[in-house]
Structure 1
């Protein structure tokens, strides 16, 4: 790998990390996932534990993504883990329905009210090209 390829790879990796991290933080703060979760479950006194769980889960996901650990877990323990994962995906899917409200707010704050279609297309094409790049890059390896 040449120096320019390494620099481009580092730039793409850092840009992707910043985009995903910014989106995740915006998702949590704009939608107020943690306060809503605590309010719905009537456990507002445990909101700090929700925050800690999200941080620990994020760090574990980063570690698992970078290191690809192999953990010998009993199949009986995998059932509750799968249920917890399903609950998480369900909650995220429900909250993503509200993300559509974020785009007009973002457009107003950036003073691009008339260019919401351009903003949506940038998000769509960014997702498409990012997915294609990841799929093609990792399939060739």
Structure 2
């Protein structure tokens, strides 16, 4: 039983590190936050954007690991959903400027000629990770 718990802890920690590193690399390599502030002409508020992303990631991760029921009024939920939609829309518009994510990543890492392998690794990693989660964790 202890070995199984340690394996689950290791897989969870490794997955968290991979996702966190990918998220940080995504934001820093592509310059998403600075580009978002450029599009909205709010360069002076870049620290607030960065703080919102970090707090959102940490709080979102913490809430997703718990069975939390907030019990907030509907009006507040509508406002929170509106703010979330605005942020996601602005983030998507900033990303349209940098649609060549994978070629840029391949160039930075130095694997331009192996981009097909990079794509296949991403696809198979997503498939096997999803299957593992579905088979192992769902309905237990």
Residue-by-residue CA offset, 1:44-65 (whole Å, 9 max, x unaligned):
1111111111122122112202
Residue-by-residue CA offset, 1:104-133 (whole Å, 9 max, x unaligned):
333344443322111110001111111222
Contact 2:39–2:94 (CA under 8 A) maintained in structure 1: no
Alpha-carbon separation, structure 2, partners of 1:117 and 1:109: 15
Q: Give the gaps of 5 or more residues in structure 1.
A: none
Alpha-carbon separation, structure 2, partners of 1:91 and 1:19: 25
Residue-by-residue CA offset, 1:66-91 (whole Å, 9 max, x unaligned):
22322121101111211222233334
In structure 2, the residue matched to 1:46 is 45
Q: Please show how residues 1-141 of structure 1 align to structure 2 within 5 Å.
A: 2-94=1-93, 101-141=100-140
Q: TM-score scaled by structure 2? A: 0.84
Q: Give the gaps of 5 or more residues in structure 2.
A: none
Alpha-carbon separation, structure 2, partners of 1:118 and 1:90: 31
Contact 1:107–1:113 (CA under 8 A) maintained in structure 2: yes
Alpha-carbon separation, structure 1, partners of 2:96 and 2:118: 18
Equivalenced residue count is: 140
Q: TM-score scaled by structure 1? A: 0.84
